[in-house]
């Protein structure tokens, strides 16, 4: 069987069982690479004074990885710049935070061309290539320009933006055109795919055709698109939940919340996660329900990320001030309404924390999927499960309709959902949990992985690589 080459911005394989959601994804991809005798390619995370177009090949727990170092300018313009200051906020509908700097776009194009320069010599004629996420959208085009005719698939781990917002991006047409060098494009949800199709069919500069079975024709090429909802490593997470460390964490949290009900939120520090809105909704709940004060508290776990970006420094400062204000207004001598933590926890620790929480708050303003929602469900005690409060703007909401779906922009709606979750009868909690857990099992990360790879392998490529406009333009 042909090799599978996985390409991502950072090579994270393999992860140990203590890792969280990202670790579950890394382990699933690592398993596929072992199965197909594959290769994982990406940035090493290191910088060098002068770029060297050569990969460092290593073996990591049976997975062959190919690492490339970048120049500091590449990291600043490609990663910190275009990826995290331009595409990330834009794809999450935050045009107000999007930086449209020409140097960022130039660095993005240059760095992806460098990735292609290093990767192309490693590719064998029958390899299948799977490229991940917004960091590397043009990579297939750059590989085609170097004569690569293999099947190449792309999976987007974020939402796709509405057309009216995407057109604020300079050279948006060029970005989308580069995606037609792929054979298969995968999205988390039907909504993200439909937004992509709307751009292709409606943008005056494109005017592409929508073909049956979600294929699209534009820029002289046809590409297959599809919905591939990602999930968690269910069995791995259940093992973590039932491990000695998982049970010990549960016991510790249960003891620390004795006589009180714990709610939990676990989110990377990011403006897309709706953290400020969540705290304001919780504040509204405390205001609306004075009789429940002292009986409930929120454990908000928020690991710091991208702290070198000014926007993230600002949100960290605002959250700390907001949590402090709410605690100052409502706390009593033996009760604090919010426990706000800026640190990471192992997957088995998180499983224990989730299991001890009677309410899980997953309320992003916009999210590609959100695997915390699925982890929270998987961690629950079937006999006495907690309740998931889920933003309708998370990708997971498309699958997890039995959660309490909320508009995270409305503090009153959040307040009402928190109260309903805390007072929900056991029979209703069990019924909802059973439906949600069935969804979690049906979207296991290994199913997502195998479905995408099988779909990519099934695509017939033209015999002549010059049929690709990217190859002709080279």
Distance between CA 129 and CA 154 in Å, rounded?
9
Distance between CA 210 and CA 198 in Å, rounded?
9
Catalytic residue among 157, 270, 444, 468: 157
157 is catalytic: yes
How is residue 388 annotated by DSSP?
Answer: E
Contact status, residue 83 vs residue 135, Cβ threshold 8 Å: yes
Catalytic residue among 183, 214, 367, 444: 367
SS3 46: strand
Q: Which residues of 235-261 are buried (b: 16+ CB within 10 A; e: fewer)?
A: ebbeebbebebbeebbeebeeebeeee
- The tens digit of pLDDT for each residue in 18-52 reads 445 545 567 677 777 877 788 999 999 999 999 99
Looking at the whole model, is its pTM more than 0.85? Answer: yes
214 is catalytic: no
pLDDT (tens, 9 = 90+) of the chain, 474 residues, equals: 689 999 999 886 444 444 455 455 676 777 778 777 889 999 999 999 999 999 999 988 888 999 999 999 999 999 999 999 999 999 999 999 999 999 999 999 999 999 999 999 999 999 999 999 999 999 999 999 999 999 999 999 999 999 999 999 999 999 999 999 999 999 999 999 999 999 999 999 898 999 999 999 999 999 999 999 999 999 999 999 999 999 999 999 999 887 899 999 999 999 999 999 999 999 999 999 999 999 999 999 999 876 666 777 889 899 999 999 999 999 999 999 999 999 999 999 999 999 999 999 999 999 999 999 999 999 999 999 999 999 999 999 999 999 999 999 999 999 999 999 999 999 999 999 999 999 999 999 999 999 999 999 999 876 544 445 555 444
């Amino acid at each position: 069987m042909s090799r599978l080459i996985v390409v991502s911005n950072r090579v994270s394989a393999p992860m140990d069982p203590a890792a969280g959601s990202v670790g579950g994804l890394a382990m699933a991809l690592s398993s596929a690479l072992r199965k197909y005798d594959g290769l994982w390619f990406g940035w090493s995370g290191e910088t060098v004074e002068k770029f060297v177009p050569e990969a460092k090949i290593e073996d990591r727990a049976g997975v062959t990885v190919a690492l490339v170092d970048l120049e500091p300018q590449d990291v600043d313009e490609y990663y910190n710049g275009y990826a995290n200051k331009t595409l990330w906020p834009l794809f999450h509908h935050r045009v107000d935070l999007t930086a449209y700097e020409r140097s960022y776009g130039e660095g993005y194009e240059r760095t992806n061309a460098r990735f292609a320069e290093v990767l192309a010599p490693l590719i064998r004629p029958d390899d299948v290539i799977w490229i991940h996420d917004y960091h590397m959208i043009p990579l297939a085009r750059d590989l085609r320009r170097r004569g690569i005719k293999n099947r190449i698939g792309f999976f987007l781990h974020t939402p796709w933006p509405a057309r009216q917002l995407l057109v604020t991006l300079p050279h948006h047409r060029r970005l989308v055109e580069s995606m037609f060098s792929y054979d298969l494009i995968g999205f988390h949800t039907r909504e993200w795919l439909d937004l992509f199709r709307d751009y292709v069919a409606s943008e005056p500069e494109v005017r592409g055709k929508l073909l049956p079975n979600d294929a699209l024709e534009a820029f002289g090429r046809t590409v297959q698109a599809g919905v591939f909802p990602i999930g968690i490593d269910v069995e791995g997470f259940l093992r973590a939940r039932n491990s000695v460390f998982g049970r010990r964490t549960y016991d510790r949290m249960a003891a620390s919340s004795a006589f009180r009900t714990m709610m939990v939120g676990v989110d990377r520090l990011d403006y897309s996660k709706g953290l400020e809105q969540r705290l304001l909704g919780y504040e509204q709940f405390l205001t609306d329900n004075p009789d429940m004060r002292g009986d409930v508290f929120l454990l908000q776990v928020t690991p710091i990320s991208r702290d070198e970006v000014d926007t993230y420094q600002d949100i960290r400062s605002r959250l700390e001030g907001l949590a402090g204000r709410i605690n100052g207004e409502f706390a009593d001598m033996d009760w604090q309404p919010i426990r706000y933590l800026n640190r990471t926890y192992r997957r088995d620790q998180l499983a224990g924390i989730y299991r001890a929480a009677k309410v899980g708050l997953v309320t992003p303003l916009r999210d590609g999927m959100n695997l915390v929602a699925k982890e929270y469900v998987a961690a629950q005690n079937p006999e006495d499960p907690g309740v998931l409060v889920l933003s309708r703007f998370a990708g997971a909401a498309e699958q997890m309709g039995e959660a309490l779906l909320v508009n995270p922009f409305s503090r009153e709606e959040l307040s009402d959902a928190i109260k309903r979750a805390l007072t929900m009868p056991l029979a209703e909690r069990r019924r909802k949990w059973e439906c949600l857990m069935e969804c979690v099992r049906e979207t296991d990360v290994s199913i997502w992985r195998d479905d995408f790879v099988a779909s990519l392998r099934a695509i017939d490529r033209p015999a002549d690589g010059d049929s690709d406009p990217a190859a002709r333009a080279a």
